[in-house]
Amino acid sequence: MELFAWMAWTTPVAVFFISVAVLLLGMTVWQIKSPTVARRGFLPLRTTRGDRLFLGLLSAAYINLAWTGLTDLSQWFGAGIALLWLLVVMRWG
Amino acid sequence: MKTYNNKAWLLVLPVVLCVAFSAIVPLMTVVNYSVQDILGPDQKVFVGTEWFKLVMRDPELHEALGRQILFSAAVLAIEIPLGILLALALPAQGWRSSLALVLLAMPLLIPQNVVGTIWQIYGRGDIGLAGAALNGLGLDYNYTGDSMDAWLTVLVMDIWHWTPLIALLAFAGLRAIPEAYYQAARIDGASRLAVFRFIQLPKLRGVLLIGLLLRFMDSFMIYTEPFVLTGGGPGNATTFLSQYLTQKAVGQFDLGPAAAFSLIYFLIILLACFVFYSLLQNAGPTEKAEH
């Protein structure tokens, strides 16, 4: 673990990156088992499953930032909204 | 059932490893820094989203972001059309073409700090060719004291440095258009403008996409040239995002806020690139970008 000490790891960040890795791995397995088909949902462009994940994660990051910048409420609410938004984009985007 | 050859994965593995070490590991470190107060190598305090809150409400950052957006917009609005015009004006073949290409590519070969130094001297009111000439014409030009002059000098410097890239890309794109298209246009009696609008521009979409992305990312991350030329001044007039970030990270050693700021910076670039890419991919109903 000394090797990674310079990276100043914290548990929440480790959990975050492990989640992203698991998500990517899961998406890869899903893609192999059942290849995605590009389709058009409420987003103004045709998207594949991977596109929707990228857009969902990116917009989730912006929601969290906006929450941090504009409100003094707990960040967990912002994170909750972002997660909900991610699920909506993945399902209907 | 279509079969795929998975050998390609092995071939891209070295690049994946390089990117992992040069980009992903540092990114992870930055994320770790952004949630901690780093007091020393072994003194760290977890602060949650505190730095993000601080950075998101920092008026100086908002100003730097505004300047940066304005600068990138100006760079793209001038360099892309100018590069296309240059490419159209270049001789198509022969020694004149080679000579023009070599001359055009020269600014691209100059290191960025040297470009800054060249323009620093070039713009000086006492000994610089441009500065002395402008003052000789009766204009009160002084890029070290006047914000607008500093801005224009940085902008013109960037245009001089990077328009050749767009011109070279557009030139390569133009050369790749088969002669048959032009023959068909001649048969139809198409005007020069119609040839450009309906043949050349759609065919250039692929290279322009690359050029637009490169120029956006580069201009959005510009650091060395304005740092050498104006040092971010006068005042903060030419302090763009990367210089503001450097001041925070290396000047003040505020590693936590600097890391939070870096991540926001990264997200802005990611979003802008996605928007550009999508717009250009979906711009034409019949012509798709050629990669």
Q: Where in chain B are the domains? A: 61-281
Long-range CB pairs of B21-29 (<8 Å, 24+ gap) are B25/A7, B27/B266, B28/A7, B28/A13, B28/A17, B29/A6, B29/A7, B29/A8
What's the token pair of residue B128? 């610089």
Q: Chain A residues with CB inside 8 Å of B46's CB?
A: 10
Q: Where in chain A are the domains? A: 1-35, 38-93
- Is residue B239 over pLDDT 70? yes
- Is residue B286 over pLDDT 60? no
Report phi then psi at B40, rounded to 5.
Answer: -170, 175
B28: nearest CA partner in chain A: A7
Give the pLDDT of residue B119: 93
| B53 vs A: CB within 8 A | yes
- Cα B112 to Cα A40, B158, B222, distances in angstroms: 44, 10, 10
Whole-number Å distance between alpha carbons of B257 and B94 = 55
Give the pLDDT of residue B277: 79
**For chain A, counts of helices (H) and of strands (E):** 3, 0
What's the token pair of residue B66? 């505004």
Whole-number Å distance between alpha carbons of B206 and B279 = 12
CATH of range B61-281; options 1.10.3720.10, 3.10.20.310, 3.40.50.1460, 3.40.190.80: 1.10.3720.10
Report phi then psi at B178, rounded to 5.
Answer: -65, 145
- Count of C-beta atoms within a 10 Å radius of residue B44: 19
Whole-number Å distance between alpha carbons of B54 and B264 = 12
- Is residue B291 over pLDDT 50? no
Q: Chain B residues with CB inside 8 Å of A68's CB?
A: 49, 52-53, 56
Q: Chain A residues with CB inside 8 Å of B29's CB?
A: 6-8
Q: Which amino acid is present at B174?
A: L
- Is residue B4 over pLDDT 80? no
- Is residue B284 over pLDDT 60? no
Give the pLDDT of residue B290: 44
Give the pLDDT of residue B287: 46
- pLDDT digit string (tens) for B190-230? 999 999 999 999 999 889 988 998 999 899 989 998 999 88
- pLDDT digit string (tens) for B96-154? 989 999 999 999 999 989 999 999 999 988 888 999 999 999 888 888 888 899 999 99
For the residues B222-251, what does the mean pLDDT come to? 87
Report phi then psi at B65, rounded to 5.
Answer: -65, -45
Cβ distance A17 to B31 less than 8 Å, yes or no, reads yes
A45 to chain B, minimum CA–CA distance in Å?
8
Q: Tell me the three state secondary structure of residue B150.
A: helix
- Is residue B3 over pLDDT 80? no
Cβ distance B33 to A8 less than 8 Å, yes or no, reads yes
| A13 vs B: CB within 8 A | yes
8 A C-beta contact, residue B155 and residue B222: no
What's the token pair of residue B158? 């960037």
What's the token pair of residue B76? 């793209």
- pLDDT digit string (tens) for B250-275? 888 888 999 999 999 899 988 988 88
Looking at per-residue confidence, does B40 or B98 come out higher?
A: B98
- pLDDT digit string (tens) for B50-95? 999 999 999 988 999 999 999 999 999 999 999 999 999 998 888 9
Mutation to test the B interface, candidates A6, A7, A11, most B Cβ within 10 Å: A7
Residues 227-256 of B with CB under 8 A from A: none
What's the token pair of residue A68? 């941090």
Which residue has tokens 């190598």?
A: B41
- Count of C-beta atoms within a 10 Å radius of residue B269: 15
Q: Which amino acid is present at B239?
A: T
Q: Tell me the three state secondary structure of residue B266.
A: helix
- Cα B117 to Cα B114, B160, B288, distances in angstroms: 5, 14, 42
Looking at per-residue confidence, does B291 or A24 come out higher?
A: A24
* Closest C-alpha among B25, B23, B76, B30 to residue B218: B76
- Under 8 Å CB-to-CB from A54, ≥6 apart: which residues? B274
Q: Chain A residues with CB inside 8 Å of B280's CB?
A: none
- Is residue A62 over pLDDT 80? yes
- pLDDT digit string (tens) for B164-178? 999 999 999 999 999
Quickly state the pLDDT bin for B289 (edges 50, 70, 90): very low
